[in-house]
Amino acid sequence: LREADEMRLPREVGWAAQELVGLSPRSIDKLRWKTMAADQFLTAGDSASAQKILVELVRENEPGEGGHNAAVRQLFALLAANPESLSEAGNILKRYRIEYPDSVRLEARMRGVLAIGHARAGDLPGGRQVLASARTRMPPMGLRTLDATAARLSLYAGHRDSAMTQARRALSEEGLDPAEHTTRLQLLTLLQAGDSSEVAIVGEGAFKLLRDPGRFDPIQSLGALATVSQTSGRPMALLYLADVAATEGRYEIARVFRLQVVQRHANSAEAPVALLSLAREADQPEAGLWLEQLIVGYPDSALAPMARRLLSDLSGR
Backbone dihedral region of 158: left (phi > 0), alpha (psi from -120 to 50 degrees) or beta? Answer: left
Nearest one of 139, 82, 134 to 150, comparing CA atoms: 134
What one-letter code names the amino acid at 21?
V
DSSP per position, 236-295: HHHHHHHHHHHHTT-HHHHHHHHHHHHHH-TTSTHHHHHHHHHHHTS-HHHHHHHHHHHH
State the CB neighbour count (10 A cutoff) for residue 26. Answer: 8
Computed over every residue of the chain, the mean pLDDT equals 94
Task: Give the E-state strand segments of the chain in sequence order.
Answer: none
| Per-residue DSSP letter, 66 | T
pTM across the whole model: 0.89
Mean pLDDT across 66-78: 91
**Do 235 and 267 form a contact (C-beta atoms < 8 A)?**
no
The mean pLDDT of 176-183, rounded to a whole number, is 93
Each residue's pLDDT tens digit, 237-291: 999 999 999 999 999 999 999 999 999 999 999 999 999 999 999 998 899 999 9
pLDDT digits (tens, 9 = 90+) for 229-249: 999 999 999 999 999 999 999
Span 118-171, pLDDT tens digits: 999 999 999 999 999 989 888 887 899 999 999 999 999 999 999 999 999 999
Quote the pLDDT of residue 184: 96
Percent helix, strand and coil across the chain, each rounded to 5? 80, 0, 20
- Quick one: average pLDDT of 183-210? 96
Banded pLDDT at 67 (limits 50, 70, 90): confident
Q: Which residues of 93-104 are buried (b: 16+ CB within 10 A; e: fewer)?
A: beebbeebeebb
User: What distance in Å separates the CA atoms of residue 221 and residue 114, rounded to the nearest whole number?
Assistant: 27
* Residues 31 and 56: beta-carbon distance below 8 Å: no
Q: How far apart are CA 181 and CA 118, in angstroms?
A: 24
